[in-house]
Structure 1
Amino acid sequence: MTRAAVIGSGAWGTAFAKVLAEAGADVTMWARRDAVATSIRDSHVNEGALPGIKLPERITATTDLAEAVAGAGLVAIAVPSQTLRGNLAEWAGAFEPGSTIVSLMKGIELGTTKRMSQVIVETARVEQDRVVVVSGPNLAPEIAAEQPAATVVAGTDAARCRAVQHAMALPYLRPYTSEDLIGCELGGAVKNVIALAYGMAAAMGLGDNTRASLITRGLAETARLGAALGADPLTFAGLAGLGDLVATCSSPLSRNRTFGEQLGLGKTLEQAQVAARQTAEGVKSCLAIRDLARAHGVEMPITEQVEKVCHEGADPRVAVKLLMGREMKPE
C-alpha cells in the first residue's frame, strides 16, 4: 500500500494519518475547513487537534473528498459517529473499487442502533469484507507522541486485517488482529458511556473502590450485550474491551471522562458542553446503546443511569443510590 486517505482531521484522524505515513504510506487527509487543510499541507501541523505535534511530510490535506480518496487503497474514516450516515450519503461511490475502508469511530447510531461498520456497508454500498475496524486504547495525543501502545484491527476478511495491521505497525504501536468485529465495536462504543459514569464518580469525590466497581461492572454489562449479539466473550478481556475501558475511564485525556466530571460537578448537559467545548461520543451513544440493550432483553444499569443523567436531568448522586439499591444477585 502506497496511497492512503484519512477522512476527518480531529485528533484521532490526524494521529492515525501520522501512523500510516510513518509506516510508509503517502497519506491525504480530508478536512472540512480550508484553514485546517492548509495548515496540514503547508506547515505540517494541526494545532487545533494535536498541539505541538509535527506531521510527516508524506501527509498532505485537502477539502475535496474526491481528491483525498483518489487512488487510495486504504480509506480511514474518523468523523463523529452520529454524522457518519449523512456524510457517507454524499461520499458514496467516491472510494476506489476494492479499497479497504477502516472505521476509526466508536459509537452506536441513534435511531437504528447500528454499529459503525454496518452504517458504512449500508450507506457507502460496499461489501462487508472491505470494512475493518481499529479499536482499543487509542488516546490520540499519546499515540501521536509515540508512547508505546497496542491496538486491535478487526474484520471479517483475515487477509485484509493483516494488511491493515502491517500498514500501521511501528516501533511504538503494536496492532493485533481479530475476527470479532461485533465485540470490538461494542467495546469501543460502550466504554464511552462507562467513562461518563467514571468521570461523574471522580468529580463527586468517590474513591478507588467505586471507580474499580464501575469499570468491572461496566465491563460486565458490555459483555452481556456482546453475548446477546454474538460477540466472542474473550474480546472483552482484551485490548478492545478492558484495555480501552481502563484507558478511557482513567485518563484526563479522555473526552468522555472529562465530560462526565462536569456532570458530576452538578452542571447540566448544556453547561457541561460549554465547559468541555464539545460533546463526548458517549452522551449520544448512551441512548442508542440503551435501546439496543432493551431490544435484546439485556440489563445495563450503568448505561441506564448515565442516560437519565445526560438526557433526563437526573442527579448523579441519585443515580449512584439507585445503582447501589438494586436487587441483590450473584455476580
Structure 2
Amino acid sequence: MSKLLNGFAGRHWMLRARNFIIRYQTIRPYSLSYEEAEKIKSQLQYRDAKLLTPKNGDSSTEYKGIMLLACGPVMKYNSMKQFSTPYLEAGFAVINMNNGFVDFAFCRPADAKINNVLGLISDNISKPCPLVAKMYCSGTPTYLPSIIKKLSQPDCKLKLSGVIFDSSPPLSAAIDVIRASRFFEGQKRYPTVYHRIKEALIPYTCMLVNGVSKRNALDRITSTSSLFQSVPQLYVYSTTDICLDMSRLHKFIDKQCQRKADVTVHTFNDTLHMLHRLKYPKEYDNLLFNFLRTKCKLL
C-alpha cells in the first residue's frame, strides 16, 4: 500500500513539475533573441513604428520582452525615442509607435498598422515573447483596441503581460483636443500659425468625424476582452493635468476595478501632461520598474 501511495505521490509531483515547466516556458521573460530583433528591424519599414534595442547587444543577447510605446499624433518620433531610454537600459526591446492623423481618426488604418507591425514581429520570433503596452494620451483609443484584438489571436506569439496608461486614456471627445491645444499653446509648442492649424484644427476635425467610433471601439474591447481584464494595469497621471477629464478617467478606472482587474493607480500632484518623469525621474522609473517586476514578472 505504501509503495502504491509513494508511486502515486511521485507521479503527482512529476505532473506538477511538468505543468510548472510548461507554464514557465510559455511566459519565460527572455524570449527575444538579438538575431530575431535585428531581422525585425531590417523589415519594419513604417516611418512612425520602429523597433529599438539596447546598444550593447550582441549575438548572445536575449531581451526581456518588448515595450510598445504609443502616443497621439502631436508627439514626434524623436521625442518618443527619449521615452524609450529607461526600458532600453533595463534590457527591453522597444517599439516606438506614434500615429498620424489618419490612424488617429479612423479605426481601420490603425487596425491595419497594428496587424502589420505585430504580425511581422510574431512571424519572426520562434517562441512566445511578452509584450507590455504603454499608452500615452490619445495613443490609447487609437491603438489599444487593435493591440488587444491582435494579441488575442491564438496564432500570435506575442503575449500581453501588462498595460500602462500614462496621462491616459482620453476618451476621444472633441473637448480633449481643445484641452491639448491649450496645453501645447501654453508650452509654446506652436511656433507659427501654420503649426497651430495643423496641430489643433486637423485633430479636432478628425475627432468630430470619427470620435464616436473610437470611443465605442475602446469601450467595447476593454469591457469584453478577457485578455485585457486578465493582465495587470497601471494608471499614472497628474491631478493637475489640464488635458484630461478627471471624472471620465476615474469612471474608466472604476469600471476596470468592478471587473476585478488587477489595477494600480499612482498620481502626481504638480506635473504636466506626460512629463512626470521630467520632474521626478527616480520616482517615476522606480514605479514603472516595480510594476514590471512585481505585476508583469519581467524583471
> Which TM bucket (shorter chain)?
0.3 to 0.5
Higher RCO (Cα < 8 Å, 6 or more apart): 2
Higher strand residue share = 2
TM-score by length of 1: 0.30
Q: Which has the larger radius of gyration?
A: 2
TM-score norm. by structure 2 comes to: 0.33
